[in-house]
Amino acid sequence: METLCSSTPGDGTSSPKEADATVSPGKNSSDDDGDDGSNTYPEDLKFYHLLGYPDYDSFFQGLREELFDGYVTHLAGRLRPIADGDNVKQFCDLCCAWPQYLSARGLILPEIIVSLVSHNALRCTRAVLQRTAPQLRGYEVDLNVRHLYGFAPLHVAAEAFNVDMVQLLLRHGASANIHTKGPKVIEGLLPLHVAVQNAAIHKYLEDHWADGDPVENLIFLLCLPEMVRLLVSPSASNKFIYISYYYLFTQFFSYYSQKMFLDTTRLIAKHTDNIADEIWNYIDSNKLVPASILLLAAQKQLRDRVSGSKVSALTGFCSVKSRINAAALALHREALAMVKEGKNGRALKQMKHKKGLLDTADAILDIVLQAGEALERYIQTN
């Protein structure tokens, strides 16, 4: 599976593949993507210069890194088996034995929470968030402070499809709109992206389909014949769509709509802003499998009116469809202009391929719009 890190982020010690550094200790961070770290502080900078740091931020970032090194050296290895067993008593005893590596300025280290989340240690995570144990009283928790490597606990829960953990984190203030950020992870990922993209690169698809293969192969792999029985008998006007895309959802439901995949994605999508934009971004990037997963998982939201829209009847489905149509029309006009100029090379072929992808995306959208609720009932029942 595509991960945030090059190895499992479970114990907070592994190095991510490609994005983010956490905020400075003691800062309360929801999503601070607009903060470039250039805030000014009233403290005399000479103090930090004497310590070898240019400013407040770099000073506390240095302390943060020292604390992280101590956590890795002394706490991470001891925490791992405790998290595996989800033993609250042992976890509290560990915190009592190593308090110097538990928090930064009273805020429990995100690395500790990430380690618990990655091991699906629900009881321990709940103990930290509720701080009912005497050893944890007096500490604060901010689930939107990023791990030193740039991701939040909710990214890790999404990566592992831990539905119960996702619910717990959201209930205690985790934001579904926080992005990965920094030089050590893939930047700009929402928890939703992590869940959707990991579902889309399931081993079955990796073994049978790759970028560049014919789209028809992907459609075949995403097919489930049992789904066709759920569709209302198509009228003469829409029969072609159902026949042409008979295979569309085949392997999709046998491999992706296992409840842990769709339930996790659905739950995170419910708390994520601008779902129609996210679906369109996948379509515009030629990522039809992630787009299909998100269409199914977020279809209830897509049937609602788009917030802030001047058109009262505009739903998320309408928003995505209008963008598909606009992109297809723009491609058609561009292709006509190229033909008139006598151009007939690679660029024109790429445009035709893109138009085919847009047509396929439009058909997928229509299927989910017309039959998605029946498909959803089937998933929940079976």
Q: Which of 32-46, 103-117, 160-174, 200-214 has the lowest mean pLDDT?
A: 32-46
Q: Are 279 and 320 in contact (CB under 8 A)?
A: yes
Phi, psi of 42, rounded to the nearest 5 degrees: -75, -15
Q: Which of 36-40, 257-261, 285-289, 377-381 has the lowest mean pLDDT?
A: 36-40
Q: Please tell me the predicted confidence (pLDDT) of residue 26.
A: 39
Give 242's contacts (C-beta < 8 A, 6+ positions apart).
228, 231, 234, 367
How does pLDDT run across 344-379, given as a tens digit for each residue? 778 888 888 889 889 888 988 988 888 888 777 766
Rounded to an integer, what distance in angstroms lies between the CA atom of residue 94 and that of residue 82?
A: 9
Number of residues that make up the chain: 382
Q: Does the N-terminal peptide bond of residue 263 adopt cis geometry, omega within 30 degrees of 0? A: no
Q: What is the pTM of this model?
A: 0.74
Cβ of 308: how many Cβ atoms within 10 Å? 6
Residue type, 374: A
**Separation of first and last alpha carbons in the chain:** 26
pLDDT of 238 higher than 60? no
- Report which secondary-structure segment, H or E, holds 144: none
Q: Which residues pair with 140 in a beta bridge?
A: 107
Q: Are 19 and 9 in contact (CB under 8 A)?
A: no
pLDDT of 257 higher than 60? no
Rounded to an integer, what distance in angstroms lies between the CA atom of residue 279 and that of residue 326?
A: 15
Q: Please tell me the predicted confidence (pLDDT) of residue 297.
A: 87
Q: Highest mean pLDDT: which of 68-82, 149-163, 191-205?
A: 149-163
Helix axis angle, 77-85 relative to 88-97, nearest 10°?
A: 160
Q: Where are the beta strands (DSSP E) in the chain?
A: 103-104, 107-108
Half-sphere exposure of 41 (CA within 13 A, CB side): 16
Average pLDDT, the chain: 76
Concatenated DSSP letters for 216-234? HHHHHHT--HHHHTTSPPP
pLDDT of 193 higher than 90? yes
pLDDT of 236 higher than 60? no
User: Cα 106 vs. chain centroid, distance in angstroms?
Assistant: 29
Which band of pLDDT confidence, cut at 50, 70 and 90, is reported for residue 201?
confident
More confident residue, 309 or 373: 373
Task: Name the token pair of 275.
Answer: 């779902």
pLDDT of 181 higher than 90? yes
Which band of pLDDT confidence, cut at 50, 70 and 90, is reported for residue 105?
confident
Question: Which whole number is the average pLDDT over 10-34?
Answer: 41
Q: Please tell me the predicted confidence (pLDDT) of residue 174.
A: 98
Q: Please tell me the predicted confidence (pLDDT) of residue 11.
A: 45
Task: For residue 61, give Cα distances in angstroms to 45, 56, 323.
Answer: 15, 8, 43
In the chain the domains, ranked by start, together with CATH numbers, are 45-187 (1.25.40.20), 198-381 (no CATH)
CA angle 134, 135, 141 (to 5 degrees): 100
Rounded to an integer, what distance in angstroms lies between the CA atom of residue 157 and that of residue 164?
A: 9
Q: Which of 16-25, 152-161, 269-278, 338-347 has the lowest mean pLDDT?
A: 16-25
CA-nearest of 351, 173, 357, 220 to 283 is 357
